[in-house]
Structure 1
Amino acid sequence: MHFIVIGTANQTTHNIMPEALPLLAQPCVFSGGQRHYGLVKALLPEQHTWITIKGSMVALFEQYQQAGETVVIFASGDPLFYGMVQTIYKYAPKATLQVFPHFSSIQRLFTKIGQPYEQVRHTSVHGRGWKELDAALIKDDKFISVLTDVTRSPQAIAARMLQYNFHHYEMVVAEDLDGQQENITSGTLKEMTTRSFHPLNCVLLRQVSPAKMPGMGIADQQFEGLPGRPNMITKRSVRLVTLSHLQLHTAATFWDIGCCTGSVAIEAKRMHADLGVYAFEIRTECETIIQHNMERLAAPGIEVVMGDFYEKDHASLPSPDAVFIGGHGNRLDALVQIINQHINKGGRIVLNAVQASSREQFVISATNAGWELQPEEVLQVNAHNPITILTAIKTR
């Protein structure tokens, strides 16, 4: 198949680049969203076939396949920027492409407010989760652009940022850019939670004050702990050495099993903002505490999985590249077997053993699983018991 992808401006005249105009006279099937049809209909041949983009992408590309001709797709702005080109690569990887981009909505916004954008972190929550925006906020980027949708609207973005303690930004919202209802407003996050906006919008976040977020090595007292059990936390020095053994800079997904109040998971997310972090905990009283710690320490995006780890559908979760065993319920061998079934080859597993029996059982179980044991490291924090940090790698 051959696709011609043409970016459109949000207006009915001069809405595509001139070099794309001759292509519209060729025998083609045309496609785009309903809004795009209204913008370009006057440019199309009197007799033409139009396929509206909506619903299932699988069904849409089946329609394209059945058309058996070159398909011209109209897309908003720059289809190479979070746009239709990526969708084509996903659903028709062997297709050939010609692309004629227009200016993206982000470019139009920056042009209108005179904002240079070479240092802007670009993100999108349009039809996807919060992951990209969360990562940009954790990394403390000075300028962040956001492509929104109806669910993850400017109001929802502002509310989430306030929830997770990112108070040091202002928000610029651009509505219906180049359209009849164009409007650009700026304000505090709190103000933006109370406003309503045109559904066609994009956002710029700008820092207005220095961040007050924790750096590497979060102080133990900054975590809310279990009532009456202040020592139920992986201490900062042990936490940092543990994370160094996990080598999370090479990982895409990290499981923290027995996360308690979330200190290891939160430190990992703060250090590696793009990392997918899954925190497992059986104690029901920890659920609220973990959430409070995520919010106060600006660590959104951690997936907290409550309940008995041994009873979970592990196959439904992304396979980990690194696992920290913070708790095992005296079933360490069974836990090692579960991890062995799901961790990716080359994945690293770390256990902090206080008791000699835990160390011995881990060594036996890891050896039986065929893991490659790494040199041990022993730490002692103040008057607390020595801790042996055990590391193994799945090599096959």
Structure 2
Amino acid sequence: MKYIVIGISNHAVQELPATVRELLPQYRVFSGGQRHYALIQAYLPADHQWIDIRSDMPALFAQYHSLNEDVVVFASGDPLYYGFAATIRKYHPEADMQVFPYFNSLQLLCHRLNYPYAGLVSTSVHGRSWEELDQALLRQCGSIGVLTDQVKTPAAIAARLLEYGFDNYVMHIGEELEGTAQRIVSGELADMASYEAHALNCVLLHKKETRSLSAGIPDHRFAGLEGRPNMITKMPVRLASLAQLDLSARKTCWDIGFCTASVSIEARRQYPHLQVIAFEKRPECAAIFEENTRRHSTPGITKVMGDFFAQDLAVLPRPDAVFIGGHGNQLEALMQRLDVYLSAGAKLVINAVKEDSRTQFIAAAQHLNYILSEPMVITVDAHNPITILTAEKH
């Protein structure tokens, strides 16, 4: 079977291209949302069958398959842009598909604003996590387009940006573009955080100025454990440890024993693509994590509280890089547990102050047949020398 996917506008009276109008009488089965049906019903042949697109995609595609004939699908804007074309590729990858695109909603918003969008970075939080938007913010993109939903609304987006210190953006909202209630609203994030937008909307974020998100955050800028100012991986050691992990080519980094979250924050800021999962058993560090990630504009780090040995690690994304910031005198057991979740090429790094940690790490790595790199010794100010040890799974 074949899918003919037609992108349409939000105009009350549709103006379909002649090529599309000529195609429609050749087919019997049509599909789309209820809103789409109201917009294009007048163009369909009298004996047509309409299939509503709802949230249950497996059931929808089972229905398509049961008909065993070509299906014409109507979608908003450009079906190839976060649209139904990708859904077809997911649930029916071998199917033939022909697409007739229209402008996507962010293009329409830029058109209304006379805003050049060649450099626009597109993101979607529609039924998704914040990840795409977080990465664009960490990369300090100058123009960010956001597809929203009923939960991650323009107000929720503005609130998140303010929470993490990205108040250097202004927001433009396009509401029911090309519809009878079309409206364009622009303003500062503080105003948009309480704005109730029309349910059909999209957002354009424009950066007013660039903020410093450079690597190497001074230690004194982190909130820490009360009375223990030295309980932090010092900045030079932090940067050298991240370099040893070779994070530019990694997907997921586990930070075990995050304390102030300084390593997680530096990793996420330097490598926005990186999924960072931070573990810590001291309850008081939870609040420190929240304060530091917001103070240093670093959204998207996953925090896991409690004893590492009590965690169900199987439900988490497997790491290809691990920083061991704490091990509770169970370093060998920790490395053995980690080994189950590591694939070949994964790297482990530890900063050893005591000789025992250095000896145990090397012995455990050799027992597991890991490849050990040459140790790196760093002395910061008047502190004791720290040995940075790196092991790679064979």
Q: Same fold (TM over 0.5)?
A: yes
Amino acid at match of 1:100: F
User: Counterpart of 2:281?
Assistant: 282
Task: Output the CA distance in 1 between the equivalents of 2:310 and 2:214.
Answer: 35
Q: Compute the displacement of 1:65 (Å).
A: 1.0
Within-5 A mapping of 1:270-349: 270-349=269-348
Task: Output the CA distance in 2 between the equivalents of 1:313 and 1:76.
Answer: 41
Within-5 A mapping of 1:22-37: 22-37=22-37
Task: Output the CA distance in 1 between the equivalents of 2:341 and 2:145.
Answer: 36
- 2:189 matched to 1:189? yes
Task: Output the CA distance in 2 between the equivalents of 1:297 and 1:309.
Answer: 26
Q: Deviations over 1:15-65 (max 9, x none)?
A: 433322222111332111111111111111111111111122111111111
Q: Deviations over 1:77-121 (max 9, x none)?
A: 001111111111111111111010001111111111111101111
User: Counterpart of 2:371?
Assistant: 372
Q: Compute the displacement of 1:360 (Å).
A: 1.0
User: Counterpart of 1:74?
Assistant: 74
- 2:259 matched to 1:257? no
- 2:165 matched to 1:154? no
* Contact preservation (8 Å) 1:16, 1:102: no
Residues 18 and 310 from structure 1, CA distance in 2 versus in 1: closer, same or farther, beyond 3 angstroms? farther
Note the aligned Cα RMSD (angstroms). Answer: 1.1
Task: Output the CA distance in 2 between the equivalents of 1:16 and 1:81.
Answer: 19
* Contact preservation (8 Å) 1:17, 1:101: no
User: Counterpart of 1:98?
Assistant: 98
User: Counterpart of 2:230?
Assistant: 231
Greater Cα offset, 162-171 or 368-377:
368-377
Q: Compute the displacement of 1:345 (Å).
A: 2.1
User: Counterpart of 1:164?
Assistant: 164
Task: Output the CA distance in 1 between the equivalents of 2:150 and 2:292.
Answer: 29
Amino acid at match of 2:319: P
Amino acid at match of 1:277: V
* Identity fraction in percent: 50
Amino acid at match of 2:94: K
User: Counterpart of 2:9?
Assistant: 9
Greater Cα offset, 363-372 or 265-274:
363-372
Task: Output the CA distance in 2 between the equivalents of 1:65 and 1:43.
Answer: 24
- 2:54 matched to 1:54? yes
Q: Compute the displacement of 1:211 (Å).
A: 3.1
User: Counterpart of 2:359?
Assistant: 360
Task: Output the CA distance in 2 between the equivalents of 1:28 and 1:374.
Answer: 66
* Contact preservation (8 Å) 2:217, 2:266: yes
Residues 323 and 42 from structure 1, CA distance in 2 versus in 1: closer, same or farther, beyond 3 angstroms? same
Task: Output the CA distance in 2 between the equivalents of 1:129 and 1:90.
Answer: 19
* Contact preservation (8 Å) 1:12, 1:40: no
SS of 2:340's partner is helix
* Contact preservation (8 Å) 1:5, 1:79: yes
Task: Output the CA distance in 2 between the equivalents of 1:100 and 1:12.
Answer: 19
- 2:222 matched to 1:220? no
Greater Cα offset, 27-36 or 185-194:
27-36
Task: Output the CA distance in 2 between the equivalents of 1:144 and 1:153.
Answer: 15
Amino acid at match of 2:55: G
* Contact preservation (8 Å) 1:17, 1:102: no
Amino acid at match of 1:363: I
Task: Output the CA distance in 2 between the equivalents of 1:61 and 1:115.
Answer: 38
Paired residues, what number? 394
Q: Deviations over 1:367-386 (max 9, x none)?
A: 11121111111111111111
Q: Compute the displacement of 1:363 (Å).
A: 1.0
Task: Output the CA distance in 1 between the equivalents of 2:195 and 2:317.
Answer: 37
- 2:19 matched to 1:19? yes
- 2:43 matched to 1:40? no
Amino acid at match of 1:357: D
User: Counterpart of 1:173?
Assistant: 173
Greater Cα offset, 148-157 or 104-113:
104-113
* Contact preservation (8 Å) 1:159, 1:193: yes
SS of 2:166's partner is coil
Task: Output the CA distance in 2 between the equivalents of 1:33 and 1:302.
Answer: 35
Q: Deviations over 1:59-78 (max 9, x none)?
A: 11111111211111111100
Long gaps (5+) in structure 2:
none
Task: Output the CA distance in 2 between the equivalents of 1:70 and 1:281.
Answer: 54
* Contact preservation (8 Å) 1:261, 1:286: yes
Task: Output the CA distance in 2 between the equivalents of 1:227 and 1:22.
Answer: 73
* Contact preservation (8 Å) 2:3, 2:95: yes
